[in-house]
Chains A and B, each alone.
Chain A
């Protein structure tokens, strides 16, 4: 009996190990969304695996319906859509790439690292001319490296200055500030009037989005990440001024007490609750049930907003048995997704701005036709009209440059070091420029 049990256990272990140790690069039957990609699944279907970033609590709901509709319209394609949270998506994708199980289509922010490793297909290989014409030209070009476009914009948002007008008026400030000096004056007025009860200026220089803060201030002091030639110009005089200004805001006691660890989310909550007077944030930052009387205006200084645009990209898959069928299926996916009605619906559902011309026009007139995710509320045409008009004035992160991730982390470190008084803004930015540009 003992012998029998022992052999049974050993056999079970061996089987388990054999099951765990499958060859990751071998073609799969496409039944698992995280398994080998671009393969021919059961029957004659082409399997397409997609990873989508989770933008809200209802992202899964929209994409589940999309998957059903797409498969109904394309019976030769087996579409597998996986929703991954922003907290995990980079590690998930990195692990999949290491085990050669990258998805066919990925929605993420940033693509230069994948291009550097020759993992992506060129956008013109899998997008129809119709889709190419739809995409707002500046977005199409922002995804190009040396003239080659590697990704498509999935959605956009822009950041502007939000002011609680009741708090400002009570403090004697009648209009939102338009210059950086006016910001300081308004902050002092709020502080004098409301004391500790109200935080005058919301600041997030945390690891979460400290690079966004650098963008707001550097662009609007006349600097930025790159110069006119597209070369890194991190230690420009304007950037030094911008970082010194951030330090001044903190040292004057105008900001939230933990700008090094406060992400924008608690700040947005504080603004929506009426305990924060001013902050720069995305256009959908105020909670739907907030009663705050606010105005959204251009960021002080040069009035340059931060445009955020995430991408959809397609990975190569040399192991796919039928490359032509795979490319056709991917092309069908994008035709289906960027369809004006469907894409407009997704934008209202998630609360973002469209990256296509036809949807921009459509939502500026008919946003009320579409529902907001997780509620019975509908879109607001005026909202889309206002923010879509701001998009052309927005600048974007230079994500097409291979060093972007190092620059992103570098500017956050600069902000934190300078604001802690460990090093001067000039020295910190000089060091960063030397590290990045050599």
Chain B
């Protein structure tokens, strides 16, 4: 229950500012102007230490010659970047990263919309199904990746054992015979863990759509598809924009799935930028070159983040 304000406080607050006695009005004004910044200062310092300093350090490292032992040997000009661009593995990795991001985000968005629409309908056991959908999202990526690595193993994996017992296959199938098959499995796991996030974004979007819009569409004789494409999807766009842009950033930066399942092998054919720079830094001990890859990834993501900011600000303006 809300308490009534005390009479004397009303009196105090109701005084016009101009007649309030104040021996140093400008100083007080200055203090009041500064106060919000003092409150913000801890956050600003934290952000500076935890975000800006690492970013600056990575940029510095990408222009430094770092020995394999870790000693900084000074300014390397653009050598690290030039070395990176000469590597066939880097070009392949860049292409993989684009495929990985587009496939995982694209397919999980489509599946998420379908699942969201299904889960928005009323049916028996809907709560249980919703809980099941959350499972892949709630489980640590590393655990899911390890489990899937063992499931698809041809020699002792659960998938072959199950298919053999069901009589679907007669001998073990090598599910990871080629780099492309490896990468396809990684995309599959990526989609599996991304779908729940999209589903719940779609669900929240669907629940904010006014039911009278559907009633009006039905009165006008709209079919299921008409309602879907002319009412539901246009009104879901803000939710989908947020989920897609955030997913692009998350998926682009995702490390555990690819590293756990293939470590970028065979022959560096299944890397994404993040696993490639990790291998460069921690396996090949090429810290400067790894920092250069990191900067390139940062730049790509900065563009994505800018698009997101632009869209968010525009949406706020329209509201």
Interface residues of A (CB under 8 A from B): 2-3, 6-7, 9-10, 12-13, 17, 20, 90-91, 93-98, 113-114, 116-117, 119, 195-196, 199, 206-207, 256-258, 260-261, 270, 275, 405-406, 409, 413, 416-417, 419-420, 422
Contact = CB atoms under 8 A, between A and B. Distances in A.
Interface in B36-51: 38-39, 41-42, 45-46, 49
A12 B45 CA distance: 11
B265 A416 contact: yes
Nearest to A413: B267
B71 A117 contact: yes
Given A20-B49, A207-B263, A420-B267, A90 B41 contact: no
Nearest to A199: B155
B263 A261 contact: yes
B68 interface: yes
Interface residues of B, number: 42
B212 interface: no
A116 B261 CA distance: 35
Contacts of A117: 67, 69, 71
B150 to A, nearest CB: 9
Contacts of B269: 420
Contact of A275 (B154, B156, B174, B176): B156
B282 interface: yes
Counting chain B CB atoms within 10 Å of each CB, which of A7, A17, A95, A258 scores highest?
A258
B283 interface: yes
Contact of A17 (B49, B72, B155, B283): B49
Nearest to B179: A420
From B72, B172, B263, B266, name the one whose CB has the most chain A CB atoms within 10 angstroms.
B266
A28 B46 CA distance: 26
A364 B307 CA distance: 70
A416 B49 contact: no
A114 B282 CA distance: 16
A260 B281 contact: no
Residue among B69, B171, B267, B282 with max Cβ neighbours from chain A (10 Å): B69
Of residues A6, A113, A196, A257, which shows the largest number of chain B Cβ atoms within 10 Å of its Cβ? Answer: A257
B279 A207 contact: yes
A199 B38 CA distance: 68
B284 interface: yes
A406 B38 CA distance: 52
Contact of A94 (B35, B49, B69): B69
Nearest to B39: A6
Nearest to A111: B69
A422 B70 contact: no
A13 to B, nearest CB: 5
Nearest to A253: B174
B267 A98 contact: no
A409 B283 contact: yes
A182 B265 CA distance: 30
B267 A422 contact: yes
B143 to A, nearest CB: 17
A9 B41 CA distance: 9
Nearest to B281: A91
A257 B35 contact: no
Given A6-B39, A261-B182, A406-B284, 17 more contacts: A3-B35, A9-B39, A10-B41, A17-B45, A98-B71, A113-B69, A117-B69, A119-B71, A206-B265, A207-B283, A257-B153, A257-B154, A258-B176, A261-B262, A261-B263, A275-B156, A409-B283
B265 A257 contact: no
Contact of A206 (B66, B156, B263, B287): B263
A261 B42 contact: no
B155 A270 contact: yes
Nearest to B175: A257
B285 interface: yes
Nearest to A6: B38
